[in-house]
Structure 1
Amino acid sequence: MAKTPADKWKDAIVKYRKQCQNILKLSDSIRYAGVINAYGRTLTGIIKPDLKPLLKSEQVKNEFFIISTLMSLRKETIGTVGILEHVILQHQNVTIVILQKKDVTFYVSIDRKEKGIEPIISSIKKII
């Protein structure tokens, strides 16, 4: 029996959720792992238990919209500069790592105290 589009959608969300759970397991320094679509909508996202979110709901919407717009605009330069590996946004309190896979964007927040994020990024790439 062929899967309906709704079944395929549910399967994709379950897959993204498991990937986010696996990303959170990589390090105690990872605060949040989520997946957003090309329009900045959250497909799934998990904040580490017992942590208070840094952003309010409206701030999160704006952040994800900005990131999705950036990722969409970057697609035009792939032919010239190559495929985007990852983006690191260094803030005072957290480091944000952004990775793209097909038409979705993985958004991972890491505590700024974590010094060696390259191994974490490498492990995230293996998960996604």
Structure 2
Amino acid sequence: MSAKIYDYTKICESVLLIDPKIRFAGVINERGRLVAGGMRENVEPLESEKDDEMIFMELALRVKMRKEFDKQLGLVNFAMASRERALAISVLINDDILYVVSEPDSDYGILPKKILEIVHS
């Protein structure tokens, strides 16, 4: 069975259009490397480029660890972390991860649903 082919650049661009509070939309591969997308233009990053690398690698590891429970609990639809300075949402796309970072006051009830609609369209 072959995996569906996604246009990661188009997905990231579409996610950024959902809400101006979205700071970052990127696709991270299973090794924790950014393969598409990135920071919204004219937005100051919260962390350094080196910190980004560490965040992406940690995210990839976390996603792999979550897969250990897919048989018992079912597939993960999305994961979300609410922090003081950011809201982070991750969605699995094949073996890669769509990682979205938004302002902390974003609507976390609606934002993941809109992201999933884009991924699954």
Q: Which residue of 2 aligns with 1:126?
A: 117
Q: Which residue of 2 aligns with 1:28?
A: 20
Structure with greater proportional helix content: 1
Mapping 1:1-128, distance limit 5 Å: 15-114=7-106, 116-128=107-119
Is contact 2:13–2:37 with CA below 8 Å preserved after alignment? no
CA distance, structure 2, for counterparts of residue 118 and residue 27 of structure 1:
13
Look up the equivalent residue of 2:18 and give its one-letter code. Answer: L
CA distance, structure 1, for counterparts of residue 38 and residue 92 of structure 2:
18
Q: CA deviation at 1:64?
A: 0.5
Unaligned runs of 5+ in 1: 1-10
CA distance, structure 2, for counterparts of residue 22 and residue 90 of structure 1:
22
Q: CA deviation at 1:123?
A: 1.0
Q: CA deviation at 1:46?
A: 2.3
| SS at structure 2 position matched to 1:20 | helix
Q: Which residue of 2 aligns with 1:3?
A: none
When normalised by structure 2's length, the TM-score is 0.90
Once superposed, what is the RMSD of the aligned Cα atoms?
1.3
Unaligned runs of 5+ in 2: none
Is contact 1:21–1:46 with CA below 8 Å preserved after alignment? no
Q: What percentage of aligned pairs have identical amino acids? A: 23
**1:79-124 CA distance string (max 9 Å, x none):** 001111111111111100111121010100010122x222221111
